């Protein structure tokens, strides 16, 4: 798309200055968190390398349907929050709260789903100490769940503030920081789910 400016020069979307949403510090934190999770994924694969039979047998006890539904929930949550940011950019400040509320509710849904899954494991007598696979399962999903709880709390804060019209196209740094973090939570789960639930043994 191109536009004609008052001076008569044509500017295109490509000419728009490139920018990171929010503040740079959040992106440093997101990058650091991503690297930490990559190291955890590598450590999981190394542990699996030494005991593939136990990992495969244990993997079969996980609820793939719940894991898949969790992924759909987080993708929908990210989408809703992304729509909230788009609404703020266009100064549709009345619409932003409903999208942010969508993010909060889907975050809560993920927590409920994970609680059901943990309860299933607990009633089956499965704990982190059962074997290496379950230690990794509870560690990776547990750390991720903490990210979800933190992110949902931040989204709830944004929702409350946005209902008071605290944010707009000119005041959207905080919503952009929270949204970027929330999308990180989504993309981490996109990798954790196949790593733990779908990775068949050779």
Partner 1 sequence: MSVLRERVTMVWLGLIVATCVTTWGLSKALFSPAVAVIGIFTIAAVKVSYVMLDFMELRCAPIPVRVAFQAWPVAVAAMILGFWFATPAVG
Q: Which residues bind partner 1 (CB under 8 A)?
A: 16, 18-21, 27, 31, 34, 38, 41-42, 45-46, 48-49, 52-53, 56, 64-65, 67-68, 71-72, 75-76, 78-79, 81-83, 85-87, 90, 92, 95, 179-180, 183-184, 186-187, 190-191, 193-195, 197-202
Nearer to partner 1, 122 or 194 (CB): 194
Distance (Å, whole) CA 172 – CA 193: 32
Nearer to partner 1, 46 or 125 (CB): 46
Cβ 147 to partner 1 shortest distance, Å? 15
Cβ 119 to partner 1 shortest distance, Å? 21
Cβ 87 to partner 1 shortest distance, Å? 6
Nearer to partner 1, 42 or 122 (CB): 42
Nearer to partner 1, 28 or 127 (CB): 28
Cβ 130 to partner 1 shortest distance, Å? 19
Distance (Å, whole) CA 75 – CA 47: 29
For residue 130, give both structure tokens: 């059962």
């Amino acid at each position: 798309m191109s536009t004609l400016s008052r001076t008569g020069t044509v500017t295109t979307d490509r000419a728009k200055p490139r920018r990171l949403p929010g503040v740079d510090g959040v992106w440093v934190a997101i990058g650091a968190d991503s690297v930490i999770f990559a190291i955890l994924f590598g450590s999981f694969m190394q542990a699996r390398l030494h005991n593939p039979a136990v990992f495969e047998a244990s993997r079969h006890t996980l609820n793939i349907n719940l894991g898949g539904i969790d992924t759909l929930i987080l993708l929908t949550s990210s989408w809703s929050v992304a729509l909230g940011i788009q609404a703020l950019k266009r100064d549709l400040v009345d619409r932003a709260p409903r999208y942010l509320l969508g993010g909060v509710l889907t975050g809560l849904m993920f927590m409920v789903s994970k609680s059901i899954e943990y309860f299933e494991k607990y009633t089956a007598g499965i704990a982190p100490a059962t074997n290496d696979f379950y230690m990794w399962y509870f560690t990776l999903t547990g750390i991720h769940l903490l990210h979800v709880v933190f992110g949902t709390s931040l989204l709830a804060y944004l929702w409350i503030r946005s209902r008071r019209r605290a944010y707009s196209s000119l005041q959207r740094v905080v919503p952009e920081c929270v949204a970027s973090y929330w999308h990180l939570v989504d993309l981490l789960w996109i990798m954790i789910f196949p790593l733990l639930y779908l990775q068949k043994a050779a």
